[in-house]
Amino acid sequence: MQFKRISRLYVFIYRKIPHVFHLGDKCGLHHDKGDCSAANVDSYRKMLKDHRYFFFPPNFTNWRRATEKVKQKLKPNGGWGDLRDRNLCYFLVDHVDPSSLRLNQLPFLQ
């Protein structure tokens, strides 16, 4: 599937922190110890709940113009450096109604 870039002004939000959140050092897919105690899971849930504001803030700051240089070189393996991801983003902007997204109702943030 290919998407054509439409000549239209878009505003994109870039994250300044990694999008992967590692929960602990003894539990999970890449660890063979399997120490996923209830206390560890509860502490991670509390951490997510305490920081839920940062997942979906009511407003954004630190806007950067597209003409500013990006400090790190973008890799073509996903993200904005990958043309496939750009095309997907353009498609979603044009075809997804933001009001249909219920991000503030995610159960782990309640």
Report the chain's terminal Cα–Cα distance, integer Å: 37
Structure letter (DSSP) for residue 17: S
Mean pLDDT across the stretch 45-72?
68
**Sequence letter at residue 15:** R
**pLDDT score for 105:** 58
Please give the annotated binding residues for Mn(2+), written as ranges.
22
Rounded to an integer, the average pLDDT of 9-13 is: 66
- CA atoms of 1 and 81, how far apart (whole Å): 19
Binding residues: 22
Q: If you search the block for the tokens 């503030």, which residue do you land on? A: 104
